[in-house]
Amino acid sequence: MKSNQPHTRHALRAAALTAAAAIIMLFCPLRAEAQEDFRFEIGGGIGMTGYLGDANTANLLKNPSWDAELLFRYLMSPRLALKTNFFVGGLRGNSAQMTNVFPNDETYKFSTTFYELSELFEFNFFNYGIGESYRKLKRITPYITAGLGLTAWSVGGTGGAAFTIPLGIGVKYKPSLRWNLGLEFLMKKTFSDKLDGPLLADPIGIKSGFMKNTDWYSTLTFTVSYEFSQRCAVCNYKE
């Protein structure tokens, strides 16, 4: 019996070393992944638009159209980001579908393609990311956003441009370390009453002003984005 004890001890020692090696191999990639952090994010998306103005005063979902987006984010922290958006999309409306009636029973409809460049500030409700437990990072977070933009369009051969204020909400989900999925709804107030064309700039004799009787449009966009530019390869502590 005593002659088998050295073999038993060697077998137990080998099994323990094998188990330790397996644990190290299992957790090392996760620790390496957790230490990565990125400065920037780039991506794009597609979605739908809505319009509120003289040719549609109530129902944002009536006559929806399309949008496409390119985005670039500067990731300030797990809670904060600055996002640059470029949108192209369609807008349309038809006053014949409204209950309101214009003078002389006139009806108006329009269709346009718009181009928007905007800069937005984002605030995540949770620390967004994958990694260190001490930072309480979450794979998914809702967020709010607001900013300033410039939109250009053309209706009936007449072009226009105006500043916009985009306001919105969204949700982000991180399926892996660098990739992100998002869904964002933005309402954009334009400082113009000519988004739907010059014929609808003053159809019932109410003059528009900087904050009165101006047009709105919305975007609901699904996005996919990728993070790059590693911030810190090996850090013992990060803000």
Which pTM was predicted? 0.78
CB under 8 Å to 76, separation ≥6 — which residues? 82
d(CA 11, CA 168): 63
**56: helix, coil or strand?**
strand
Confidence at residue 53, expressed as pLDDT on a 0 to 100 scale: 86
**Any idea which fold 39-230 has?**
Porin (2.40.160)
pLDDT-based confidence at residue 174 (cuts at 50, 70, 90): very high
149: nearest Cα among 191, 107, 202:
191
- Interval 62-101: pLDDT, tens: 899 999 999 999 999 999 999 999 999 999 988 777 656 5
pLDDT-based confidence at residue 26 (cuts at 50, 70, 90): very low
180: nearest Cα among 72, 91, 106:
72
| 16 token code pair | 């323990």
Confidence at residue 57, expressed as pLDDT on a 0 to 100 scale: 82
Confidence at residue 14, expressed as pLDDT on a 0 to 100 scale: 58
d(CA 152, CA 232): 40
Cβ pair 54, 108 in contact under 8 A? yes
Cβ pair 7, 200 in contact under 8 A? no
Q: What count of other Cβ atoms lies within 10 Å of the Cβ of residue 55?
A: 28
Confidence at residue 101, expressed as pLDDT on a 0 to 100 scale: 57
176: pLDDT strictly greater than 50: yes
d(CA 184, CA 143): 9
The mean pLDDT value of the chain amounts to 82
| 37 token code pair | 């952090």
Show me where the domains of the chain are located: 1-35, 39-230
pLDDT-based confidence at residue 29 (cuts at 50, 70, 90): very low
Confidence at residue 17, expressed as pLDDT on a 0 to 100 scale: 58
State the burial class of residue 213 (Cβ atoms within 10 Å of its Cβ: 0-12, 13-18, 19+): middle
State the burial class of residue 77 (Cβ atoms within 10 Å of its Cβ: 0-12, 13-18, 19+): middle
d(CA 124, CA 109): 39
41: pLDDT strictly greater than 50: yes
Least confident of 50-59, 74-83, 92-101, 174-183: 92-101
- Interval 190-231: pLDDT, tens: 999 889 887 666 655 555 554 556 899 999 999 999 999 998
Cβ pair 146, 119 in contact under 8 A? no
Q: What count of other Cβ atoms lies within 10 Å of the Cβ of residue 180?
A: 20
**Side-chain half-sphere exposure of 124, counting CA atoms within 13 A:** 22
